[in-house]
Amino acid sequence: MRRYFTRKIITYVVAFFLATTIDWAIPRIMPGNPVQLYLSKFSITTEAQYAALQKLISASFGVNVPVWKQYLDFWDGVLHWNFGLSFYATEPVTHVVFQAIPYTLALLIPAITLSYILGNRIGAMAARRKWLDNTVLPVGYLFQAAPYAWLALAMAYYFAARLHWFPVDQGYNPGLLPGWNWTFIGSLLEHWFLPFLTVFLVSFGGWAIGMRNLVIYELETDYARYLRSLGASQRLVRKYAYRNAVLPQLSGLALSLGVVVGGNIVTEVVFQYPGLGHLIFLAISDEDYFLLQGIFMFIIVGVLLANFIIDIVYVLVDPRTRLSMQGAAA
Amino acid sequence: MSVNTGPPSTPEDFAGGTSPGPTGSPVLARSVGAGGAELAAMAPSAGADGFGGGRRWEFLHFALRNPKLMIGLCVELIFVAVALFGPLLAPYSPTYHGTPGLHPSAQHLFGTTYPFGTDVFSQVLYGVRDSYVVGVLGALFAGAVGLVVGFAAGYRGGVLDEILQLFTNVMICIPQLVLLIVISAYLTTRGVLFEGIFIGVTGWPWVARAVRAQTFTLRERDFVDLARLSGRRAVSIVVKDIAPNMASYIFLVFVLLFASSMLVAVNFDFLGLGPTNGLSLGDIMNQSTLWSALDLHMWWWFIPPGAALTLMVLALYIANVGLDEVFNPKLRQT
């Protein structure tokens, strides 16, 4: 148990370290020079202006000091949640990111948990009902094969542009003042539903298929056969099969986080939903590198935290890890 | 699970064999579980020659009679033909400028774009090729890195295993698309080759994890011990004794990597980070968004390219399920 968590925490610390280093190093390794790019945004006429501006921008970017100092400065910024100013919003990056985070979480948390719970349930049911199996399987594969961008576009076109059931832009009706009243909350929900549904559907198909396969596999194992030969009810056998199948699904959940986060970015872009994904898109098109660096770190921290939560749930669900906690051995 | 390997105190290893594919998709779940079952059934008698001899004909026999594999393969081959000959068949050049904003018609099967009036059908025919190229490159690189890391960790064990596992788990924690975005946002010119390679070198971790788990089950087998006793080098044992016994599994991994690389690429291209020297299916969707096709109700601009990619990936998934049944005798009856 302690060994389990020590390993996990070491992994996350190394991941954080590596991610921070990548985030720092990439703008410096890549051929494009952010300072030059920013310089090109000004209309410069004379050599002296150029030199002065270059000096100013280099200083404000913190690239006028030795490389090792730049690296330490970057860590200092990361540890204080200070990523500089966003060029696009002319506000501190942290500010801009914090405004976007609630929207992204409002999409991701329900989409991930609901698709996981419902997908597992439906998948387990599909393993024993032929008609359900014949619908869940093809539909599940279809949603899995559909790129997030396309599914989102198709939904936005059909349900919003065509049928006008839902709006497709921003997080709420811009004519409304944010507040705790039903009109505003209703507007939030209206704008939230389609992006949520997109992210939900893609993951849902995956979980349903995975669970179906795992339950079928578990029902073929020796312990299931033994239980059946003892005369245990189908219900009981299936219950045990389900419990065993949940474990690989749970580690699959940790593996899938990266994909869901990526898909969420694309979905937000399609619906112009004001979360981190949309912000990334703006940062790319406006060449706002500080914003991009900041968002990257926030996403990494979010994914690492989510991984850690899944690790804890795993211990709660898997009796084997719990046993090794009670026995002194592990 | 038949593939539970390694020290049972780390839950990761319980699940090691059943890690889902990179799409967050437990598509591979059964393959892996089944892969283990297959290994158990096959290795003692077939020895190092699991994929050759009479078995090959047996596989072919079942392959030809498997509807999933055949349907998936046929659809995929149609798209491969499009990728190879599409540019020859395309009625217009992808940069042709005609009447903008036309609805689909006999002249323009998928209509034209706005405001430049390029033919969407021709663009899709060209786009399939670039999407495939990226998919193949991504699969090759991710597969190569994943196999090397997985074999090394699983066969060597010990400190090397610990280090490689740590590295693999660290890479799993970093979302691939986000990493790709950060890498390429700084580039002003991006090639198809570059895109494929980068998708490959960021997409390998789940392969390494799965291959490691499989190698673990095999390295304790008698025939591997025997090979080791005969004094052969580790690389030769891995290549000649271990890899052939999981050949079918490795094949399935490549199929899934191919599909997932194309999926990553299309989302990536959609964000406008696609190759600047080509035109992929994701690029077409990106352009449609940039010129607000959604608000103009020009569905023919973004639905066909996405539908083509969905079919390309779906066919691979279905063929994969079929292949799994062909390789694994246990799944054939059901």
Instruction: Give me the tens of pLDDT residue by residue for chain B, a chain 334 residues long.
Output: 233 333 333 333 333 333 333 333 334 433 343 333 344 334 333 444 444 556 677 778 877 888 888 899 999 999 998 888 888 887 777 777 777 777 788 777 788 888 777 888 888 888 898 899 999 999 999 999 999 999 999 888 888 988 998 899 889 888 999 998 888 887 777 888 888 898 999 989 989 988 998 888 888 888 888 888 888 888 888 888 888 888 888 888 999 999 999 999 999 899 888 888 778 888 889 888 888 778 888 888 889 999 999 999 999 999 988 888 888 776 665 4
Confidence of residue A76 (pLDDT cuts 50, 70, 90): confident
Measured in residues, chain B has a length of 334
Report the pLDDT value the prediction gives residue B309, as an integer from 0 to 100.
Answer: 94
Min distance B135 CA to chain A CA atoms (Å)? 14
Contacts of A262 in chain B (CB under 8 A): 175-178, 264, 267
In terms of Cα–Cα distance, which of A14, A13, A27 is closest to A71?
Answer: A27
| DSSP secondary structure string for all residues of B28-67 | GHHHHHHHHHHHHHHHHHHTT-TTSTHHHHHHHHHHHT-H
Query: Beta strand A85-86 with A91-92: parallel, antiparallel or unpaired?
Result: antiparallel
Exposure b/e, A258-290, CB count within 10 A at least 16 = b: bbbbbbbbbbbbbbbbbbbbbbbbbbbeebbbb
**Cis amide linkage into residue B26, ω under 30° from 0:** no
pLDDT number for residue A326? 54
Q: What percent of chain A has pLDDT over 70?
A: 96
Please give the average per-residue pLDDT across A229-257, as a whole number: 87
- Worst-scoring range by mean pLDDT, A104-108, A199-203, B139-143, B290-294? B290-294
Cβ contacts of B22 on chain A, cutoff 8 Å? 255, 259
Question: For the segment A123-138, what is each residue's pLDDT rounded down to a tens digit?
Answer: 888 887 888 888 888 8
Q: According to the model, what pLDDT value does residue A303 have?
A: 92
The residue of chain B with its CA nearest to that of A147 is: B263
Residues of A in contact with B170 (CB under 8 A): 11, 14-15, 18
Whether the Cβ atoms of residue B183 and residue B198 lie closer than 8 Å to each other = yes
Q: Within a 10 A sphere around the Cβ of A108, how many other Cβ atoms?
A: 22
Cα radius of gyration (chain B): 22
Structural contact between residues B118 and B96, judged by C-beta atoms closer than 8 angstroms: yes
| Mean pLDDT calculated for residue range A77-106 | 85
Cβ atoms of B185 and A293 within 8 Å: the answer is: no
Segment A290-300 mean pLDDT: 90
* Environment class of A169 (CB within 10 Å of its CB; exposed 0-12, middle 13-18, buried 19+): middle
Cβ distance A261 to B267 less than 8 Å, yes or no, reads: no
* Whole-number pLDDT of residue A323: 65
Asked if the Cβ–Cβ distance from B186 to A34 is below 8 Å, we say yes
Nearest to B26 among A10, A150, A249 (CB): A249
- Which ipTM score applies to this complex? 0.85
Crossing angle for the helix pair A289-317 and B176-184, to the nearest 10 degrees: 170
Contact A251 B19 (CB under 8 A): yes
DSSP A229-273: HTT--HHHHHHHHHHHHHHHHHHHHHHHHHHHHHHHHHHHHHHT-
pLDDT at B25: 39
Give the residue carrying structure tokens 């190879």.
B84
| pLDDT confidence of residue B45 | 38
* Higher pLDDT among residues A109 and A89, named by residue: A109
Quick check: A321 contacting B, CB < 8 Å? yes
Nearest CA-CA distance, residue B183 and chain A, Å: 6
| Relative orientation angle of helices B247-268 and B299-327, to the nearest 10 degrees | 170
Distances (CA, A) of B225 to B150, B158, B246, B323: 19, 17, 17, 30
Q: Residue A38: pLDDT above 80?
A: no
Does this model's pTM top 0.90?
Answer: no
**For B260, which residue in chain A has the nearest alpha carbon?**
A145
Judge whether B197 is closer than 8 Å to chain A, CB to CB.
Answer: no
Q: What is the largest CA-CA distance in chain A?
A: 91
SS3 A85: strand
pLDDT recorded at residue B13: 34
| A257 against B332, higher pLDDT | A257
Burial of B174 (0-12, 13-18, 19+ CB in 10 A): buried
Which chain B residues have a beta carbon less than 8 Å from that of A206? 20, 23-27
First to last CA, chain B: 19
Q: What is the largest CA-CA distance in chain B?
A: 74
The A residues from 18 to 37 touching B (CB cutoff 8 Å) are 18-19, 22-23, 26-27, 30-32, 34
- Residues of chain B positioned with their CB less than 8 A from the CB of A300: 173-174, 178
Cβ–Cβ of A256/B173 closer than 8 Å? no
Q: 48-107 in B: which are within 8 Å (CB) of A?
A: none
Question: Which residue from A303, A298, A293, A288 is spatially nearest to A83, judged by alpha carbons?
Answer: A293
B230 shares contact with chain A (CB less than 8 Å)? no
Q: Is the pLDDT of residue A155 over 60?
A: yes
Summarize the confidence of residues A293-322 as an average pLDDT. 87
Give the mutation candidate from B12, B75, B161, B182 for the A interface (greatest A CB count, under 10 A).
Answer: B182
Burial call B263-290: b when 16+ CB within 10 Å, e when fewer: bbbbbbbbbbbbbeebbbbbbbbbbbbe
Cβ-contact B175, A261 below 8 angstroms? yes
Q: Which comes out higher in pLDDT, residue A320 or A165?
A: A165
Q: What's the whole-number mean pLDDT along residues A173-196?
A: 81
- Least Cα separation, residue B282 to chain A (angstroms): 9
Neighbouring-strand partners of residue B112: B119
Nearest-angstrom CA–CA distance, B37 and B2 = 6
Residues 2-21 of A with CB under 8 A from B: 3-4, 7, 10-12, 14-15, 18-19
A276 pLDDT exceeds 70?
yes
- Of B224, B313, B184, B222, which is closest to residue B260 (Cα–Cα)? B313
pLDDT surpassing 90 at residue A104: yes
- A251: tokens are 């580690």
CA distance A182 to chain B (A): 28
Q: What is the pLDDT of residue A118?
A: 93
Rg (CA), chain A: 25
Q: Out of A20-24, A46-50, A215-219, which region has the weakest mean confidence (pLDDT)?
A: A46-50
